């Protein structure tokens, strides 16, 4: 089944199109990485998929439900982790997770069970009595990931999920993402770390000037660029140089 379908998706801010005519299908169980330079339109795309930003044109479907016409059904299986997630500094992690679980309508018992599971798995259980504002950036990132996973989503949108994490924390998060995909979940993530896209993604999309200028496996992208056998960095730079130019 198609987890995520974008059709002719576009967003205009004033006179500028941040995203234009974006068509994309991501099947269930796939990890899709969206690459692009600063300002290319990645976050705007994720925010439209998450239903946080109304498209100027086009639509998004999540597991068959339109984000604009059936927003509740579309958002239910979805988790969105922004690059700078909002955490409530005065709360302890269990309070934060129980609060998020409450927003999704989980019962107190299942929220507590799931929160304990996630905190243990992410290595935060021993820090459960500390307030969130004392957490390091990596710990906050992991807690935000726990918040995103609390309602057992089937599709995750992650904006730069590995930025600012040390090697151990990055490994833990990468393993978590792999497990999620292996169990049938779908991930769309943005990253500036090309190595992450190269090692983890089933397919990669390259966005430049708001348009998806290329998509496919690394082998497909190599074939589209003049960089047969090249690194993803060389392929990416070549495709962006050919395809850039704002719409
Ligand atoms: N709320 C807004 N109002 C006006 N312009 C915006 C708004 N949000 C984004 N833009 C513009 O849309 C374009 C795409 O921005 P976006 O944040 O989607 O890029 P990005 O690929 O996520 O960049 P980065 O890698 O720097 O996070 C940029 O030119 C940005 O200035």
% residues pLDDT > 90 (the chain): 67
40 in ligand 1 pocket by Cβ < 6 Å? yes
Residue closest to 4 by CA, chosen among 67, 55, 57 = 67
- Rounded to two decimals, the pTM is 0.91
Give the pLDDT confidence of 55-112 residue by residue, as tens digits. 999 999 999 999 989 999 999 999 999 988 888 889 999 999 999 999 999 999 999 9
pLDDT at 245: 40
Quote the ligand 1 centre to 42 CA distance (angstroms).
8
Query: Which of 9, 11, 13, 80 gets mutated to test ligand 1 (max ligand atoms within 8 A of its CB)?
Result: 13
Asked whether the predicted pLDDT for residue 127 surpasses 60, the reply is yes
- Say if residue 231's pLDDT is above 50: yes
Predicted pLDDT at 14 = 94
pLDDT at 226 over 80: no
- 155 band by pLDDT with thresholds 50, 70 and 90: very high
Helix (H, G, I), strand (E, B) or coil at 169: helix
Does residue 125 register a pLDDT over 70?
yes
Ligand 1 centroid to Cα of residue 141, in Å, is 22
Query: Ligand 1 centre and the CA of 115: distance in Å?
Result: 33
SS3 of residue 227 by DSSP: coil
Q: Which residue has the higher pLDDT, 189 or 169?
A: 189
The pLDDT value recorded for residue 85 is 82
What gap in Å lies between CA 236 and CA 216, rounded to an integer?
Answer: 12
User: What atom of ligand 1 comes closest to residue 41's alpha carbon?
Assistant: 18
Q: H or E segment at 170?
A: helix 167-182
Q: Residue 238 has what pLDDT?
A: 87
Q: How many CB atoms lie within 10 A of CB 121?
A: 16
Nearest Cα neighbor of 25 from 8, 48, 11, 5 is: 5
Higher pLDDT among residues 84 and 158, named by residue? 158
Q: Is 42 in the pocket of ligand 1 (CB under 6 A)?
A: yes
Residue 14: partners with Cβ closer than 8 Å, 6 or more residues away: none
Give the per-residue pLDDT at 244.
Answer: 55
Give the mean model confidence (pLDDT) for residues 45-64.
95
Instruction: State if residue 52 touches ligand 1 by the CB under 6 angstroms criterion.
Output: no
Cβ of 191 less than 6 Å from ligand 1: no
Inform me whether the pLDDT recorded for 53 exceeds 90. Answer: yes
Arithmetic mean of pLDDT over the chain: 91
Query: Are 129 and 179 contacting, i.e. CB atoms less than 8 angstroms apart?
Result: no
Ligand 1 near 18 CB (within 6 A): yes
- Cβ-count burial of 54 within 10 angstroms (0-12 exposed, 13-18 middle, 19+ buried)? exposed
What CA–CA distances, in Å, run from 82 to 6, 15, 103, 242?
19, 26, 17, 29
What separation in Å is there between the alpha carbon of 38 and the centre of ligand 1?
A: 8
Rounded to the nearest 10 degrees, what angle do helices 108-121 and 137-149 cross at?
A: 140
Taking CA atoms, 176 is separated from 31, 40, 120, 224, 226, in Å, by: 12, 27, 13, 31, 35
CB of 54 shorter than 6 A to ligand 1: no
pLDDT digits (tens, 9 = 90+) for 181-212: 999 999 999 988 888 898 899 999 999 999 99
């Amino acid at each position: 089944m198609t987890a995520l379908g974008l059709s002719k998706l576009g967003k205009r801010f004033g006179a500028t199109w941040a995203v234009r005519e974006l068509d994309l299908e991501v099947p269930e169980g796939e990890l899709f990485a969206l690459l692009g330079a600063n300002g290319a339109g990645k976050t705007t795309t994720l925010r439209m998929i998450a239903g946080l930003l109304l498209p100027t044109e086009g639509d998004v479907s999540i597991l068959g439900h339109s984000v604009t016409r059936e927003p509740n059904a579309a958002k239910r299986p979805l988790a969105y982790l922004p690059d700078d997630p909002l955490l409530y500094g005065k709360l302890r992690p269990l309070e934060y997770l129980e609060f998020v679980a409450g927003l999704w309508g989980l019962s107190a018992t299942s929220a507590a069970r799931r929160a304990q599971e996630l905190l243990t798995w992410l290595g935060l259980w021993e820090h459960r009595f500390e307030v969130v504002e004392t957490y390091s950036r990596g710990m906050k990132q992991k807690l935000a990931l726990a918040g995103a996973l609390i309602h057992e989503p089937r599709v995750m949108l992650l904006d730069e999920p590995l930025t600012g994490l040390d090697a151990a924390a990055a490994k833990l998060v990468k393993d978590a993402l792999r497990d999620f995909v292996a169990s049938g979940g779908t991930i769309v993530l943005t990253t500036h770390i090309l190595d992450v896209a190269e090692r983890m993604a089933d397919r990669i999309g390259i966005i430049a000037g708001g348009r998806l200028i290329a998509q496919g496996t690394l082998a497909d992208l190599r074939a589209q660029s003049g960089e047969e056998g090249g690194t993803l960095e060389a392929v990416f730079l070549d495709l962006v140089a050919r395809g850039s130019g704002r719409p």
